[in-house]
Amino acid sequence: MKLTVERLPEGQVRLDIAADEDEFGRAMDRAVRKVSRQVVLPGFRKGKVPRQMIERTYGREVFLEEAHKEIMDDLYKRALEQEELVPVGSPEVDITTPEPLAFQVVVPVYPTIDPGPYTDVRVEPQDASVDEDAVDQVIERLRKTQSPWVEPSEPRRPREGDQVTVDLTVTEGDAPFQTPVEGAQFVLGESNIFDGLREQLEQMEVAETRTFDLTFADDDESVNAGIRGKTLTYTATLKGLNERQLLPLDDAFAKQAADEETLDGLRRAIREDLHQGKTAETRTGVVNQTIGAMAEGATIDLPAVMIDEAVDDELNSLRGQLSQQRQTLEDYLRANNQTEAELRAELRPDAARRLRNSLLLREIARRENVAVADEDVDAEIAELSSGAANPERLRELYASDYFRNMLRNDLFERRITDRLVEIATEGRGAVTNGWVAPPPAEGGEGDEETVADLVGTAAEDAGTEDTGTEDSAGGAATDSTGALGLAEAIPPAVDDVEDIAVGDRTLNSVTDGGLTTDASGADAPEADADAAVTVAAVATEPDAAQAAAVGHEAEAVATGGDDPDTSGERGA
């Protein structure tokens, strides 16, 4: 076999393959015997038709075609093995010479990864200390969510911080633009409603009904595309007005808000929670900065088909999250006045960047001997279950392949990012003044509600008011994808993240096609011995090394890079 190899852009390779004359002659002999056994002609028994008669009847091409079928696959496989190439897509084949056979193959292959001078990258550790202003802000948010709503002592117009209850009707000309709603609730200055609507509400008295027009500019990207360039008529009735009766900040408030005995105890708990969160956030920022700097010096020529698959993963993740919100991708595209092709083009740069980062980290892990063995996973399970109330049940749960893979990826993420930080900071660490976990308490893990849970719940409660959802009084919710005043359409969501509590931390099973790493630490797979490996076929294989070859893993852990911004625009 004669072979010439040429690297093409976008991770493709051109193989010019030519069979030796003797090799092709033997293939022709086998082809003749095979065809002769199958051909039937009048006057001859099956399998006894002379070669010359077959050629005269069907032409020499019938033997050439059979010889090509027999020898092409073998020559192609040998070429892949000889050049250590791993196909990640279907090849394009063109026969250049029929006899002796010569053909050309263009195929996307697993890219060669040159990490460049990654050991020269330097970043500075970042400070994770928490000041008292941050604690004060959280306490004030808690205070707002815990404080009751009451009617003002004297009749007045709405002002910032008030909760208003409104009936809204929207028309375009004489035609209804959207289904009217009753009892929509907003908090002025906190709910993200149109400025024009807020200005009108602040001028109204309770029980007053007012009709007014709002005009939206053609280029107003703060609202949904469906109302840009339109003038809509709003009829609003201010049905109710409440103000917060702020609770005093004392020990009783601490007990009510977070079951802390004193206000000082509440402040300590909040400070601890903030410090823990900021430490994690700061470390993530340093890791992302490190990965970004290393990626700048790396050379990775990604095949288009691998990027296509990464974009497919992004879209599938988006579909999953929209489904949880009882919406479809079509709803999302319509709200953003976008086609699927346009969304794909928008997602593509970030998907390609994350895929490059994934492959880069995998190569760095190989060079730095970062890997996770089964024994490491066993040790992690033993550690996590040792403090549990029911360790046997927890160990049984972790014994499943699903959770073992999650733990393996979690361990691998920590090890590779620790190594990256060690390199980039010259051993100083990512964070200064970071939070340090206290020793585990006797008696195992508790499941009491934490301050973090309460703060998160407070934020969710505030978000519920922001979207005008129904309260205990029974008001109807506003349509956040409509023109009724909310300035937020579809929540920003492309991640498909499942949080699973493990001991005192949480594992994130991320399948958003983000920056993924191969927990096996295995080398790139060998060329498939049977045929070219397509992306779709490899992605369904359970083997971690094969999956990593095309940027996929059954369970991948995000370790760096921002998610693409696919958030919906405001209004609708």
Is 208 contained in some domain? yes
Tens digits of residue pLDDT in 362-397: 999 999 999 999 999 999 998 888 878 888 888 888
Tokens of 197: 């609507």
Mean pLDDT of 280-288: 96
Note whether 474 and 377 are same-domain residues. yes
- Which of 137-151, 187-201, 399-413, 442-456 has the lowest average pLDDT? 442-456
pLDDT in tens, 473-520: 233 333 333 565 554 332 333 233 233 232 333 333 222 222 233 343
CATH of the domain at 35: 3.30.70.1050
Q: In 39-115, which residue ranges form alpha helices assigned H by DSSP?
A: 51-58, 61-83
Among residues 445, 438, 431, 384, the alpha carbon closest in space to that of 411 is found at 384
Residues 61 and 184 in one domain: no
Q: Are residues 235 and 279 in the same domain?
A: no
| pLDDT tens sequence across 30-84 | 776 776 666 656 656 565 556 666 666 666 677 778 778 878 888 999 999 999 9
Q: Which pair of tokens denotes residue 38?
A: 């199958």
Q: Using the Cα atoms of residue 63, residue 68, residue 69 and residue 75 in order, give the sign of their dihedral.
A: positive
Averaged pLDDT for residues 278-300: 96
Q: Which of 244, 270, 286 is the last residue of a domain?
A: 244
Tokens describing residue 490: 């579809």
Does 571 reside within a domain?
A: no
| Span of 94-98, 247-251, 332-336, 565-569 with lowest mean pLDDT | 565-569
In the block, tokens 């399948």 appear at 511
Structure tokens at 90: 């279907």
Beta bridge partners of 243: 150
Asked whether the predicted pLDDT for residue 89 surpasses 80, the reply is: yes
Domain membership of residue 156 (yes or no) is yes
Same-domain pairing of 177 and 91: no
Q: Which of 62, 84, 109 is the last residue of a domain?
A: 109
Do 68 and 509 contact (CB within 8 A), yes or no?
A: no
Same domain, 504 and 361: yes
Burial of 22 (0-12, 13-18, 19+ CB in 10 A): exposed
The pLDDT of residue 339 is above 50? yes
Q: Tell me if 370 is assigned to some domain.
A: yes
Q: Quick one: 317 and 461 in the same domain?
A: yes
Q: Is the pLDDT of residue 405 over 60?
A: yes
Token representation of residue 160: 């910032």
**CATH code, domain carrying 238:** 3.10.50.40
Q: Same domain, yes or no, for 43 and 89?
A: yes
Residue 108 reports pLDDT greater than 90: yes
Residues 270 and 201 in one domain: no
Q: Answer yes or no: do 170 and 221 share one domain.
A: yes
Q: Are residues 404 and 532 in the same domain?
A: yes
DSSP-derived secondary structure for 218-287: TT-TTS-GGGTT-EEEEEEEEEEEEEE-PPP-SHHHHHHHH--SSHHHHHHHHHHHHHHHHHHHHHHHHH
In-domain check, residue 75: yes
pLDDT at 365: 96
- Structural domains in the chain (count): 3
Residue range of the domain that includes 311 = 251-430+453-549
User: Rounded to an integer, what distance in angstroms lies between the CA atom of residue 237 and that of residue 408?
Assistant: 57
Is pTM, for the whole model, over 0.85? no
- The yes-or-no verdict on residue 341 having pLDDT over 90 is yes
Whether residue 100 is preceded by a cis peptide bond, meaning omega within 30 degrees of 0, is yes
Q: Give, for 423, the enclosing helix (H) or strand (E).
A: helix 401-424
Q: Are strands 126-127 and 431-432 parallel, antiparallel or unpaired?
A: parallel
- Please report the pLDDT score of residue 54 as a whole number: 61
Please check whether residue 133 lies inside any domain of the structure: no
**355 and 228, same structural domain?**
no
Residue 569 within any structural domain of the chain:
no
Last residue of a domain, one of 211, 244, 277: 244
Residue 157 in any domain: the answer is: yes
What φ, ψ does residue 229 adopt, rounded to 5°? 80, 5
307 in the same domain as 204: no
